[in-house]
Amino acid sequence: MSVSQQVFLRDAMRRLNLTRDVFAARIGVKRRALDTWLLPEGSQEARGMPEVVTRFVTEIVDNEALLKKYAQSAQSGPLRNRIATGGKHQLLSVDQFSRESVEELFRIADLMQPIARRQKVSRVLEGAVLGNLFFEASTRTRVSFGAAFCRLGGSVCDTTGFTFSSMAKGESIYDTSRVMSGYVDAMVVRHPEQGSVAEFARATNIPVVNGGDGPGEHPSQALLDLYTILTEFSRLGKLLDGASVAMVGDLKYGRTVHSLIKLLALYRGLKFTLIAPAGLEMPEYIIEQASKRGHVIEQTASLEAGLPGADVIYATRVQKERFADEKMQGYTAEFQVNKAIIDKYCRPDVVVMHPLPRDSREGAHDLSTDLNEDPRLAIFRQTDNGIPVRMAIFAVLLGVEGLVQHSLRDVTWSPPSHVGPDDSVFHGID
């Protein structure tokens, strides 16, 4: 097997769209045996899977793939052509994805995990240069895009804010974009105006990734959010089809939820509960787009009413920097997602997410830190997933995803087994 046993099995379950229980029954093994095969290599209870099972699973997956291939014969060719926009290899909106193409991207992200977890290195983007152009505040997105490009062997040039860019001298988006195209091989752009990244993209033929365009979209965040949900569900033995997702907070200006709801809507039979304070509700055009696909969408201003039954809670920060004439300073206390409210209203296997940053200032009432050691809180697994997903995005847009597997070499240094002090809490569940 060229990939790890864990990646192989997760991929098989995802392709077959089966829960752990059903998958175990399908291949005729006990659920307990499957669980031990799915443990990370090196963990004490991990067991090797018999060769005959590997061959059987491969056969089932291949048959399924063949059937799918016939059904989707129109959708062939490299992934970057299938998700292209305006004939270019750029990522501006989640609207570019179908369920099949998003899952294909995630299989590439799975391949990147040994690199993201610092077990392997790759140089498939050696010589390539990324321009990271952030005209709005960012920590995670800018650094993780940069780290993802570097971990594939490329180099990164950064610029942050307007003050130190030529835009402060009145330069147009068109000029900046065209000039940068002569310097770098791909660009990630964040800009405070909705639609501005698309304008950058029109002025160049090199790959451009939307790193957030004002209250518009944040496609790479939504992709890593969906990847996280699928990974968490695979661990919990759940399927996304039919699941219940509660989105909480500033749904008006929060671009991450705008992208995420559209991406989740590619799945079947979801229930979305949109919980927002008055005046910060999800824009109607996004609700319409998601509801056209037959999902149940409910709106409320109360956590107590909206949280029960949720499989995922996706909390967000108040986007005060985008307020026009809204007066709010932060959420009121009844709006805070914290341990007490989760214990009272949610199921024990709920997955709690947030795109971060959380506003930890007094009176902000953003997602509480009292869940930090609670395994239901997935926020740091979510941020960690930003690396393999963004690596997959670059590999696809630059057309090198097929080279990754054979390019892997062992790392020469020894990273700590847990990168954060709280990670031991999660050890054994991922």
**Binding pattern for the stretch 194-213 against ligand ASP, x by CB under 6 A and - elsewhere:** ------------------x-
Q: Which is nearer to ligand ASP, 257 or 392 (CB)?
A: 257
Alpha-carbon dihedral angle through residues 278, 279, 281, 287, given to the nearest 10 degrees: 120
**Binding pattern for the stretch 254-293 against ligand ASP, x by CB under 6 A and - elsewhere:** -xx-------------------------------------
Q: Which is nearer to ligand ASP, 228 or 256 (CB)?
A: 256
Least distance (Å) from ligand ASP to the CB of residue 213?
10
Burial class (CB in 10 A: 0-12, 13-18, 19+), 327: exposed
- Measured CA to CA, the distance from residue 384 to residue 39 in angstroms comes to 18
Least distance (Å) from ligand ASP to the CB of residue 225?
11
Among 214, 355, 386, 388, which residue sits at the site for ligand ASP (rule: CB under 6 A)? 355
Q: Which is nearer to ligand ASP, 154 or 355 (CB)?
A: 355
The interface with ligand ASP within residues 237-256 (CB under 6 A) comprises: 255-256
Strands (E), 226-293: 244-248, 271-275
Q: Which is nearer to ligand ASP, 212 or 388 (CB)?
A: 212
Residues linked to residue 134 through DSSP beta bridges, in sequence order: 160, 190
Q: How much of the chain is in helix, strand and coil states, percent to nearest 5?
A: 45, 15, 45
218 forms part of the interface with ligand ASP (CB under 6 A): yes
The interface with ligand ASP within residues 317-336 (CB under 6 A) comprises: 317
Report the Cα 129 to chain-centroid distance in Å.
23
Q: How many residues bind ligand ASP (CB under 6 A)?
A: 6
Q: Which is nearer to ligand ASP, 215 or 237 (CB)?
A: 215
Q: What are the distances in angstroms from CA 72 to CA 68, 94, 312, 334?
A: 6, 20, 31, 48
271-275 sheet: strands from edge to edge: 296-300, 271-275, 244-248, 312-315, 351-353
Least distance (Å) from ligand ASP to the CB of residue 355?
4
Q: Which is nearer to ligand ASP, 20 or 317 (CB)?
A: 317
Least distance (Å) from ligand ASP to the CB of residue 316?
6
Q: Which is nearer to ligand ASP, 262 or 317 (CB)?
A: 317
114 forms part of the interface with ligand ASP (CB under 6 A): no
- Measured CA to CA, the distance from residue 374 to residue 299 in angstroms comes to 28
Contact 223, 104 (CB under 8 A): no
Q: What are the distances in angstroms from CA 400 to CA 64, 78, 189, 267?
A: 26, 10, 21, 28
381 forms part of the interface with ligand ASP (CB under 6 A): no
User: Would you tell me which residues interact with ligand ASP (CB under 6 A)?
Assistant: 212, 218, 255-256, 317, 355
